[in-house]
Amino acid sequence: MYEFSFGNLFVGLLILIAGTLVTVFHQKIGDNFASGVSSYKNIKLFGLAAVGLGFIVALSVHTLFLNVFVSLFFRR
């Protein structure tokens, strides 16, 4: 059952903004916090994954995925 939540929208937008900032500034992050040029692709991939996760959380679709995952292990 799908239910929209403004709390999930707010959290999803925060995740989306953080992922966007990581994606945009991946070179500076790689130079200052990682091993430089060799980590650019990994940091950009992490940022894009965060953007995707932000969309999923903002639309409250993550609860559907979690319900399916939990129902695989625990039968009701």
Does 76 have pLDDT greater than 70? no
Using 50, 70 and 90 to split pLDDT, how confident is the model at 2? confident
Each domain of the chain, given as residue ranges in start order, spans 6-73
Cβ atoms of 56 and 50 within 8 Å: the answer is no
pTM, two decimals, is 0.84
CA distances (Å), 54 to each of 19, 51, 62, 73, in order? Answer: 8, 5, 10, 26
What confidence tens digit (pLDDT) does each residue in 8-63 have?
999 999 999 999 999 999 999 999 999 888 899 999 999 999 999 999 999 999 98
Which DSSP string do the residues of 25-73 spell out, in sequence order?
Answer: THHHHHHHHSSGGGGHHHHHHHHHHHHHHHHHHHTT-HHHHHHHHHHHH
